[in-house]
Structure 1
């Protein structure tokens, strides 16, 4: 792509008179830059790495001197907006199949995408998906769970089907494990809550082939962390105490409603960084996740629902050494 075309697309200002006039690919990770790439920089340190790796052009939105007059230095108002504009330009030259789907469906697609190499998932953090625009094909199918983003990139996007499927013989073995019949197939003890059966069937029908249901172990939404009385993590179903984490705020309302409806017989505590109104159960405001074990060690609970914090981080906090655990109690 010509440097002059890029400048027009991203509304940039060329800060020098470079000897190069063409770039090959767009990169946002300085370590992946190779000779001929255009690099979109977040800071000075990234630029130094990109230059060493052979960048032909630098796009940036902060004060920066021209370090190499041979390459193109393009200053913009916002690097993030520039990346959106580059995606929009690339997508506009093709007739593509582009879908918006909810976060649960997006994550299920990610689990089973190995079944169809034409599936391309666009992260809401767009810099993670720049490889997509290196070699776009009209045979590919694009998905995003960020509707505003996909609207900016490809206004002719469609909403991925989320039907209200007719299921039979529903058995909820627990909050986290479900069996049911759909059409001519019986799904036995899937590691997925009944809350997300519709999304699961959307993905199942989309692939139109047998899925390896063991891969649902990677499904992270409403996924329990079972703990013993000392808050040590133990195997699935080996305790009557569990912790659910949900960082995605868009899913909180439905998951909380599901928990309150399906788990009336257990004591639930809600934890969040800020106070949430209208919760029926006890609520704890936790501004620092490192304090989690100290806060809940004396609480009597069956379930803890943690809002706004990542499951992996919560597991790290809980995986203290035996010595640290015994000191807490």
Structure 2
């Protein structure tokens, strides 16, 4: 790539008078720099190592000392924006088949081992930069606007809705599902039936696109996450307690999860704990509001329940020092 093109693409300023006019290849970490590469200084501290490793160009943001005037020093206002612009131009040449989806679907897709021409963008742009740069032409790429800037792509489509469900649920609990898809039986997947509509849409899309994938087992994702505890809120193994805290960090999913729990666990005593800033249209005595984590702790301690859905919080709440009762030591005195 010629220097003038790099400068134009990144809205940059060339602050040296280099003897070179072009670079070959790109590197995002100093240890991967090869002679002739353009180095994107995502970590300013790696610049000198990149120069020693043979970089012909340095794209940088912070003030730095020009240690080698023979190479190109390319000053930008934002390294992140320069990275996005360079990747956008590079990906445009690859003619990718780009689709957007919601964040839940993306997280499920990230757990499906698949062929190399299907890529799930589920990391930050900096973390995914190298893999994006090395993508095969015409690859299928899936991203979520909730996580990634849509401006990275010249154009994209949305995963289509399905006309007919492809998943048949055979057995289910609130937090596990056994199902059939495409004549294959998947037994006791650690996946709540709440997620099945998202998975159904994803698998049907991949089948339509003729993507080869495998379902082994799902790992817990940080949504509708069940934590089994005893009455002192000590964590127990999965399924080993009749008291469950369910954590949902995404407030936009909470109302649908309330509806799911009401439908699928009508027999149970359930409480719903939501931020006091959340608008609740229903008059429901089982819904409690909180302003602080201490409020949540008090609500949990002062109510009996089988399930407690805690909105806009993660399971790390259980590490709060005020959560656990102080055990009294027996004494003869």
Normalising by structure 1, we get a TM-score of: 0.78
Provide the secondary structure at the position in 2 that maps to 1:201.
helix
CA–CA distance in 2 between the matches of 1:3 and 1:58? 11
Residue 233 of structure 1 deviates from its aligned partner by 1.9
CA–CA distance in 2 between the matches of 1:25 and 1:243? 50
Deviates more, 1:294-303 or 1:198-207: 294-303
1:132-154 deviation line (CA, Å, top 9, x unaligned): 34333224221111279564222
Provide the secondary structure at the position in 1 that maps to 2:5.
helix
Structure-2 change in CA distance of 1:69 and 1:306 (3 Å):
farther
Aligned to 2:59: 59
Aligned residues: 317
Structure-2 change in CA distance of 1:198 and 1:325 (3 Å):
closer
Structure-2 change in CA distance of 1:268 and 1:88 (3 Å):
same
Q: Contact 1:144/1:150 (CA < 8 Å) preserved in 2?
A: no
Aligned to 2:88: 88
Provide the secondary structure at the position in 2 that maps to 1:93.
helix
Normalising by structure 2, we get a TM-score of: 0.77
Provide the secondary structure at the position in 2 that maps to 1:239.
coil
Structure-2 change in CA distance of 1:6 and 1:283 (3 Å):
same
Q: Please, what is the CA RMSD of the aligned residues? A: 3.6
Aligned to 2:242: 240
CA–CA distance in 2 between the matches of 1:159 and 1:239? 41
Q: Contact 1:204/1:211 (CA < 8 Å) preserved in 2?
A: no
Residue 117 of structure 1 deviates from its aligned partner by 2.0
Alignment of 1:1-329 (within 5 A): 1-30=1-30, 32-42=32-42, 44-48=44-48, 50-51=50-51, 54-112=54-112, 114-123=113-122, 125-146=124-145, 149=148, 151-166=150-165, 170=169, 173-180=172-179, 188-205=187-204, 206=206, 211-213=214-216, 215-264=217-266, 265-270=268-273, 272=275, 275-278=277-280, 280=284, 281-286=287-292, 298-300=301-303, 301-311=305-315, 313-314=316-317, 317=319, 327=326
Unaligned runs of 5+ in 2: 329-333
Provide the secondary structure at the position in 2 that maps to 1:216.
coil
CA–CA distance in 1 between the matches of 2:87 and 2:173? 43
Q: Contact 1:270/1:284 (CA < 8 Å) preserved in 2?
A: yes
